[in-house]
A = this chain, B = another copy of it.
Amino acid sequence: MLDTDYATTLVVLDLVGIFVFAVTGALVAVRKNLDLFAATVLAGVTGLGGGFIRDVLIGATPPAALADWRYLLVPVTAGVLTFFLHPAIGRVERFVTLFDACGLALFCVTGALKAVDYGLGPLPAALLGMVTGIGGGVIRDVLAGRVPVIFEGVLYATPALAGAAVAVLLDRSDLPFIVVVVAGATTCLGWRLLGLVRGWRAPLPRGPASV
């Protein structure tokens, strides 16, 4: 029964993460003055894209999201709601960023552990965890015609890699699954939020660009 509880909790958290990621995708569409369809598609690829890349790379096809209608309904709902309610959502953007950090924390951990399940070593598994967390946002930005925001000095991918690495390493111990997930997610979330609050940025290149 506990197991079922854990599983249900994970699915709910997963859907919440997808929902928030999808909202950020739809917001990009609205701000580019794209149409309702674009908002829904960008919502979908932002919410599901990272997991799709991971599943295709580890050979877990078709991706889980294509076998469970809830995983498709959630981003579509997020896209349509955001399209029509975007001024209100813009006012609570602080919360969107917070939830987005929670989504990132969860995705990097579950993504890394799924890669371990498929037999990958610790280093590639941690990398795939990071890819699960950041992949949707990268596809969103490429489709919207802008350089991925994660490349522009924001501390976003490093926390995801750290959280994934913690989860992969602890997973090799005898710790209970829930501890592994919480430790990994807390690492990612804490680092990301600290970075947001303190305005930490990744280092930029020094010296003249040798064009």
Residues of chain A whose beta carbon lies under 8 Å from any beta carbon of chain B: 27, 29-39, 41-42, 52, 56-59, 61-63, 66-67, 69, 72, 83, 86-87, 89-91, 93, 118-121, 123-124, 127-128, 138, 142-148, 150-153, 157-158, 201-205, 207-211
Q: Tell whether A123 pairs with B69 under 8 Å between CB atoms, given A147-B145, A203-B36.
A: yes
Residues of chain B contacted by A123 (CB below 8 angstroms) = 69, 72
Residues of chain B contacted by A27 (CB below 8 angstroms) = 210
Interface contact B147-A35, CB-CB below 8 Å: no
Interface contact B150-A37, CB-CB below 8 Å: yes
Contact of A124 among B67, B119, B157 (CB under 8 A): B67
- Residue on B nearest A147 in the bound complex, by CB: B145
